[in-house]
Chains A and B, each alone.
Chain A
Amino acid sequence: MPHKVINDFSITIGTINGSGSQTANVTLLRALFKMGIPVSGKNLFPSNIQGLPTWYTIRVSKDGFIARRDEHEIVVAMNPNTFTHDLAEVLPGGAFFYADDIKLPIGRTDIAVYPMPVKTLARAADVTPNLRDYIANMVYVGVLAQILGIEPDKIEQALSFHFKGKEAPIRSNMSVIQAAFDWAAQNLTKADPYQVEPMDATAGYIMTDGNTAAALGSIYGGVQFAAWYPITPASSLAEALNVYLPKLRKTADGKQTYAVLQAEDELAAIGMAVGAGWAGLRAMTSTSGPGISLMTEYAGLAYFAEVPVVVWDVQRVGPSTGLPTRTAQGDLTQIYFLGHGDTNQVMLLPGTVQECFEFGWKAFDLAEHLQTPVFVLSDLDLGMNQWMSKPFEYPDTPMDRGKVLWEEDLEKLNGLWARYKDVDGDGISYRTLPGNRHPAAAYFTRGTGHDENARYSEEADNWEQNLLRLKKKYETARGLVPRPVLDAVEGAQIGIIAFGSSTPAVEEARVLLRQEGGPKSDFLRLRALPCTPEVRQFVESHERVYVVESNRDGQLHQILTVALPDQATKLRSACHTDGLPLTARWVKDAILAQEVK
């Protein structure tokens, strides 16, 4: 063997949806993570329950890069329908593993080829016949482990986690893995350069997905009411609430300090959340693009009637039903103005799993402080894939319940208060909550024109003053939302702005740019809209700023162009969407292409 490539390659596994391969894939990912090697996993799955092709890519990167790559050094072919395609994907010098019951021509001599007796080994396994297909996937786990050097005890840890410590499934899966491992040791000769070796680069990290993190963050934010309607890729967020709320949020006498409702549709899901938020509960809903479309009218009402509510949009590819199981950052402009008439919404843009947790609780503080909807935009990549992440951090600020007047407050005010009066000059007025027994507590909430006392009004002046106050409130929001994260280097020639799950690709692209003699770059990772002053400063201090994002039209670029009209000519859009997370190579090429212009 000419050379070794250690901890720096991608493995892509082609299987059939519904065949149970996810357990095998995640087991590999987790075992590598437990070996201390930085890893990322991307699940490329179809919108179907069973039968269509699905691919899973694991990237190991000694340098800690976790963006998607579209080069495949190692390919595992378990699906006869994609066998030929998968074979063609292997990089020259790479390795091709395949189930040996697939009798199709191979004809490549520039790669190492490893047949695997999947059926034979599965048949020999000590499981009921109906589990044989499922367990067959463990054959490639064992063979890869042997050829690449993945430690079996780490695989066992991963399985134990997956099966929540249940002995029987751990044992049966491990026995197949061991059999495959032994078979490979006796029958295969290593003919490729790729190998893993233990490192110490994942100590102190956890591995989880953004939706779980979002649910947990919401729980630490004190969520009291959640309503949702199933939709990929958001469902697992609400499902995680159902898993963790009972563990974390029962009173000493076993009562629930929360309620989760599966609504009849998204019209109702947000309606319920708005009702609960209006009545003083920390209320949320979680959905994806099509659900956001249905939630639009209520989002406008909540903005106008000033009701706190948190809406998670785990974005997928639109327009329309689009590619429901693929990722994009395409709901930005829709949500920025969500609602008819003059509407501005507050948006948080988590860029990591840890931030999904953090924004999970912060969103409630912002929503209640500002008495307005707060949208948190995650996406399928961030929400559903497994990511290595810094551990969740306990909230570092106390809950902010905003300006709420209870009985004793009204007593002090002699009952004199006005629901929509800007007492403090920040555009945020005081509210009361149902159940308040003070005779002056009640007010009437409406989506129609109203005066400071919440009385119905068609007065031109009342209307305009109220809308101007809402605008002032939005300015207050600008001062409160999470600031961007800036990574500046000496002598940067360009600036890059990106957000959310595009971050890893941008971070790696900055290194690639340097390796290829491209410009040095500063990076501003945007974490919220409206833009805070740092965004203007960043653009002002660079000659050219690339706005990198995963959508067709450069939606953030559009928003920044309007937000910073005098700087607009400096902003360059680098946008792309095909349903897959951006790669560093694409980002680098997109920037270089415009640099030579």
Chain B
Amino acid sequence: MMATPAPAQVNKVGLTKLDYKGAPSTLCQGCGHNSIASQIIAACYEMDVVPEKVMKFSGIGCSSKSPTYFLNRSFGFNSLHGRMAPLATGAVFADLSVRALGVSGDGDTASIGMGGFKHAMRRNVPMVYIVENNGVYGLTKGQFSATAEEGLQLKHQGVNQYMPVDICMEALAAQATFVARSFAGDPKQVKELIKIAFAHNGIAVLDIISPCVTFNNQENAFHSYAWGKDHEAPLHEIAFVPKLAEIQLEGEFEEGTVREVTMHDGSTVILKKLERDYDPTDRARAFQVLEEAQKNNWLVTGLIYINPQKPTLTDMHNLPETPLNRLTEADLRPRPETIAQINAMMF
């Protein structure tokens, strides 16, 4: 006799956590991107999101592959390297009740896709924009990305001589209405920030430090798990992930404290979690916090900035109640009698 399985737990929309799963991941074991995918699943389940009411977007990269690994029942489009932002910008007009969720990489966003990224900010495209930031090009096997810190040494690349791009700073400068940073090894915070991002009406940028176990694993690497350890200081920062296991912070990571995290290769990252009384609606303060973090060589984590007041891109277009993609010929083709009027308007 077979035992009757215990009824799976369901959320308010009657779905189990399995309903939010994707295909099995083909990323390296221990890749920070996998931790983030798990938290997207958890957040959507807990938020009672209807998967059919989400569309997933990405560019190209290991990070951009991850939309396959969550929300199987959501539409998805894995597009071109660096071109996720415009794709999502066009798609959000089709049905305003469908939430857009984008996953990009630091190469995808801060190098080849920087233009599109910044313009998505200034247009306030209603979408969650996650950057899985590992400081390298994972998929092309370990070249420097634009977020790699100056002085970083990589196996076949030598020493990076250039200053890094701070994705949160760029987002803020480009008028993003939601800017947050987290660390893949802090699942609780990642999940919470995903939830707030989903609730935000406008562009929500989540720069998630997501260690690449395979390529960016030098002791001194900013985006490595080891770097954190040596850089304990009072902001909300990032850690490294040991090979073959996703790095997780142990115990509670309290607001306002600093954590040093050991990465897969033994290197460390320092995370500083924003203070509990930090006011994320103050844009000047947000710049200041990012600037201070840069000076102290730590990565501040938490909700850095939010402005829920600004109209979104689609708000600006005075669209009808019915989704545009459900309008029919009767709605879309001007009536026959108008053609004479149009001809009369020509000379």
Identify the closest chain B residue to A219 (Cβ): B334
User: Which positions 309-330 of chain B face chain A at CB distance < 8 Å?
Assistant: 314, 317-321, 323-327, 329
The answer on a CB contact under 8 Å between B325 and A279 is: yes
Asked if A536 CB lies within 8 Å of chain B CBs, one says: no
B80 within 8 Å of A by Cβ?
Answer: yes
Identity of the chain B residue whose Cβ is nearest the Cβ of A275 in the assembled complex: B90
In the complex with contacts A261-B89, A456-B68, A248-B334 CB distance below 8 A: yes
The B interface, classified by DSSP as helix, strand, loop or mixed, is: mixed
State the Cβ distance, A544 to closest chain B Cβ, in Å. 40
Q: Quick check: A256 and B94 within 8 Å, CB to CB? A: no
- Give chain B nearest CB distance to A241 CB in angstroms: 13
How many angstroms from the CA of A254 to the CA of B52 in the assembled complex? Answer: 29
The residues in B between 71 and 130 inclusive whose CB is less than 8 angstroms from any CB of A are 72-80, 83, 85-95, 97-98, 115-116, 119, 123
Bound together, the chains give a CA A220 to CA B338 distance in angstroms of 10
Categorize the interface residue count of chain A: 35 or more
A108 at interface (Cβ–Cβ under 8 A)? no
Contacts of B325 in A (CB 8 A): 279-281, 433-435
Q: Which residues of A contact B342 (CB under 8 A)?
A: 216, 244, 248, 392
Cα–Cα, bound, A253→B321 (Å): 11
Minimal beta-carbon separation of B107 from chain A (angstroms): 16
Task: Tell yes or no: B156 within 8 A of A by CB.
Answer: no
Kindly list chain B residues whose C-beta atoms are within 8 Å of the C-beta of A298: 80, 83
Specify which of A221, A264, A271 is in contact with B90 (CB 8 Å cutoff).
A271
Interface residues of A in 244-259 (CB under 8 A from B): 244, 248-249, 251, 253-259
Confirm or deny: B250 has a beta carbon within 8 angstroms of a beta carbon on chain A: no
Query: What is the CA–CA distance of A446 and B79 in the complex, to the nearest angstrom?
Result: 6
Tell yes or no: B23 within 8 A of A by CB. Answer: yes
A310 on the B face (CB < 8 A): no
Q: Which A residues between 456 and 501 are near B, CB-CB below 8 angstroms?
A: 456
Task: Given A276-B90, A399-B329, A435-B94, answer yes or no on A206-B346 (Cβ-Cβ < 8 Å).
Answer: yes
Given contacts A271-B80, A442-B74, contact A222 B329 (CB under 8 A): yes
Mask: chain B, 326-340; 1 = CB below 8 Å from A; 0 = not: 110101111010110
In the complex, number of A-B residue pairs with CB atoms less than 8 Å apart: 216
Say which size band chain B's interface belongs to: 35 or more
CB-defined A-B contacts under 8 Å, sample of 26: A158-B347, A220-B333, A225-B93, A249-B332, A249-B334, A253-B320, A255-B321, A257-B320, A259-B319, A259-B324, A261-B123, A265-B115, A267-B115, A268-B85, A270-B86, A271-B79, A271-B86, A272-B87, A276-B94, A281-B94, A391-B343, A441-B75, A442-B72, A444-B56, A444-B76, A455-B23
Q: Whole-angstrom distance between the alpha carbons of A535 and B97 in the complex?
A: 48
Cross-interface CB contact of B78 among A435, A442, A445, cutoff 8 Å: A445
Decide if B317 touches A256 in the complex (CB within 8 Å): yes
Whether B52 and A441, one on each chain, are in contact in the complex, defined by CB atoms closer than 8 angstroms, is yes
The answer to whether A445 and B77 touch across the interface, beta carbons within 8 angstroms, is yes
> In the complex, which residues of chain B have a beta carbon less than 8 angstroms from the beta carbon of A455?
23
Q: Which residues of B are found within 8 Å of A392, using beta-carbon distances?
A: 339, 342-343, 346
* Cβ contacts B22-63/A at 8 Å (1 or 0 each): 010000000000000000000000000011110111000000
List A contacts of B83 (CB < 8 A): 267-268, 271, 297-298
- In the bound complex, residues from chain B placing their C-beta under 8 Å from that of A448 are 78
Give the interface centre of B89, B90, B331, B347 by most chain A CB atoms within 10 Å.
B90
Report which of B78, B93, B116, B332 forms a contact with A259, defined as CB distance below 8 A: B93
In B249-289, the 8 Å CB interface with A consists of: none
Chain B residue at minimal CB-CB distance from A277: B90
- A447: contacting residue among B57, B76, B79, CB under 8 A: B79
Q: Is A273 positioned at the interface, with any CB of B under 8 Å from its CB? A: yes
Contacts A224-B93, A261-B89 given; does A268 touch B116 at CB 8 Å: yes
Complex interface: chain B residues within 8 A of A207 (CB): 346-347
A interface, CB within 8 angstroms of B: 30, 33, 158, 161, 206-208, 212, 216, 219-222, 224-225, 227, 244, 248-249, 251, 253-259, 261, 263-265, 267-283, 297-298, 301, 305, 386, 389, 391-395, 398-399, 432-439, 441-448, 455-456
Q: Which residues of A contact B318 (CB under 8 A)?
A: 254-256
Known pairs A267-B83, A439-B52; list 18 more (Cβ under 8 Å): A222-B329, A249-B332, A254-B318, A256-B318, A259-B93, A267-B115, A268-B115, A268-B119, A274-B79, A277-B90, A279-B90, A297-B80, A392-B342, A392-B346, A394-B339, A433-B95, A435-B97, A444-B77
Nearest 7 interchain pairs by C-beta:
A271-B86, A275-B90, A222-B332, A280-B325, A279-B94, A435-B95, A272-B90
- Nearest Cβ distance between residue A269 and chain B, in whole angstroms? 8
The CA-CA distance from A267 to B327 in the complex, in Å, is 28
- Contact string against A for B residues 230-242, beta-carbon threshold 8 Å, 1 for contact and 0 otherwise: 0000000000000
Inter-chain contacts of A437 with B (CB < 8 A): 50, 52-53
List A contacts of B23 (CB < 8 A). 455-456
